[in-house]
């Protein structure tokens, strides 16, 4: 933990600095955390269903119940994709889906148990707070019971998906049916106290103000003070079929830098090459980020948003991106331990 904590008002003033000055401060903070290398991971994001009752306004991936475009993967297809991922040296699986009434908790438990029996060292960093809430409602059991059952089946980490902006006035505009900011935080709190690590995310570009973003950061930092369960924070930019303007990329880079300075209690800050592109992601490494994320053997949600098929990156491509920013690269596991 870095000793000099900044306040909300100080953070707002820092955000007004030119990018170069803010990046220098963030890079200094990154060094204070001891991050001499920039990491990446090999994993696969498997979406078990695109059926969702949430109907978020920004989501191009999901379809409503009964849609002719619905896609539900069979257990056999999921296992096949896991096998393929392991063959490609994946160390982590992210299994996520829409809020699909036909996918029950017992189905996920069966899938987790099968995967962990076959690949005990493969980390299941899967689902989301919204899915935990969904299973809690359809099974009529508590969040804690859902999480404990999933943990017993092999779940080891909870991704930060569904955070978007943790300000309810924004959430009401973009995803009125999704869980509230307090529920998202509460579910991650329970996950932490149950022994799971999790990540926190923030999606920018919904028309939110800097004050909204700072509220989001403050809520995450406060929960981290309480539990210590967040292993990383990953800000990324809302991606649509419209090309991202350069000024929005500058805004993203400043947000990455401010996040690194603000989070004196979260060790890792991620850069999102998938949403900002391979031209901007290396610059984010100069703005305090110490992780470039995954090669993404499979990804469907962002690909749907931009209307393009996903192409995974090779480890060599990610390593070259890292080197282009002047850093040494290293492969990590799900817990940010360097393994290669």
Q: Where are the domains of the chain?
A: 8-331
Q: 139 and 151 in contact (C-beta within 8 Å)?
A: no
Place of tokens 């438990």: 109
Give the whole-angstrom CA distance, residue 113 versus residue 291: 29
Is residue 59 marked as binding? Answer: yes
Please tell me whether 131 is known to bind a ligand: no
Mean pLDDT value of segment 296-320: 61
Q: What is d(CA 246, CA 230) in angstroms, rounded to the nearest whole number?
A: 30
Q: What is the mean pLDDT of residues 188-206?
A: 97
CB contact at 8 A, 154 and 112 = yes
The answer on whether 58 is annotated among ligand-binding residues is yes
21 is in an annotated binding site: no
pLDDT at residue 273 in the model = 84
Where b means 16+ CB within 10 Å and e means fewer, 55-92 reads: ebeebebbbeeeeeebeebeeeebeebbeebbeeebbb
What average pLDDT does the chain have? 91
* pLDDT at 327 exceeding the cut of 50: yes
* Neighbouring-strand partners of residue 328: 37
- Look up the pTM and report it: 0.93
Q: Where are the beta strands (DSSP E) in the chain?
A: 37-41, 43-47, 92-96, 123-125, 155-158, 197-204, 230-237, 268-269, 291-294, 328-331
For the chain, give the percent of residues with pLDDT over 90. Answer: 76
Choose the weakest-confidence range: 223-227, 264-268, 278-282: 278-282
3-state helix, strand, coil in the chain (%, to 5): 45, 15, 40
The whole-number pLDDT of residue 21 equals: 98
128 is in an annotated binding site: yes
287 labeled binding residue: no
DSSP state of 313: P
Tell me the average pLDDT across 151-172: 96
Least confident of 18-27, 98-107, 152-161, 236-245: 236-245
Q: Does 8-331 carry CATH code 3.20.20.70? A: yes
Residues 259-286, mean pLDDT to the nearest whole number: 93
User: What average pLDDT does the segment 200-213 reach?
Assistant: 95
pLDDT digits (tens, 9 = 90+) for 124-146: 999 999 999 999 999 999 999 99
In sequence order, the β-bridge partners of residue 234 are: 201
């Amino acid at each position: 933990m870095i000793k000099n904590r900044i306040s909300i008002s100080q953070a707002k003033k820092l955000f007004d600095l030119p990018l170069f000055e803010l990046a220098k401060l963030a890079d200094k903070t990154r060094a204070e955390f001891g991050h001499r290398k920039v990491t990446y991971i090999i994993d696969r994001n498997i979406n078990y269903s695109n059926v969702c009752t949430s109907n978020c306004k920004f989501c191009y991936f999901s379809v409503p119940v009964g849609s002719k475009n619905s896609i539900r993967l069979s257990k056999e297809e999921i296992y096949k994709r896991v096998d393929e991922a392991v063959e490609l040296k994946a160390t982590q699986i992210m299994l996520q889906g829409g809020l699909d009434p036909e996918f029950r908790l017992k189905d996920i438990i069966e899938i987790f148990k099968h995967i962990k029996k076959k690949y005990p060292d493969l980390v299941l960093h899967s689902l989301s707070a919204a899915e935990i809430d969904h299973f809690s409602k359809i099974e009529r059991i508590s969040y804690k019971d859902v999480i404990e059952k999933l943990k017993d089946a092999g779940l080891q980490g909870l991704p930060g998906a569904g955070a978007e902006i943790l300000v309810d006035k924004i959430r009401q505009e973009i995803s009125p049916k999704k869980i509230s900011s307090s529920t998202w935080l509460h579910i991650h709190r329970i996950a932490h106290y149950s022994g799971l690590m999790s990540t926190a995310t923030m999606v920018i570009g919904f028309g939110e103000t800097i004050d909204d973003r700072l509220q989001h950061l403050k809520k995450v930092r406060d929960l981290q003070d309480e539990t210590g369960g967040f292993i990383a924070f990953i800000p990324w930019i809302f991606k649509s079929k419209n090309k991202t303007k350069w000024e929005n990329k500058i805004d993203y880079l400043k947000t990455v830098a401010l996040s690194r300075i603000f989070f004196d209690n979260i060790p890792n800050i991620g850069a999102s090459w998938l949403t900002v592109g391979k031209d901007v992601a290396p610059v984010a490494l100069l703005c305090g980020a110490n992780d470039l994320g995954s090669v993404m053997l499979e990804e469907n949600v962002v690909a749907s948003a931009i209307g393009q098929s996903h192409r995974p990156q090779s480890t060599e491509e990610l390593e070259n991106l890292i080197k282009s920013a002047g850093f040494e690269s290293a492969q990590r596991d799900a817990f940010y331990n360097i393994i290669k």
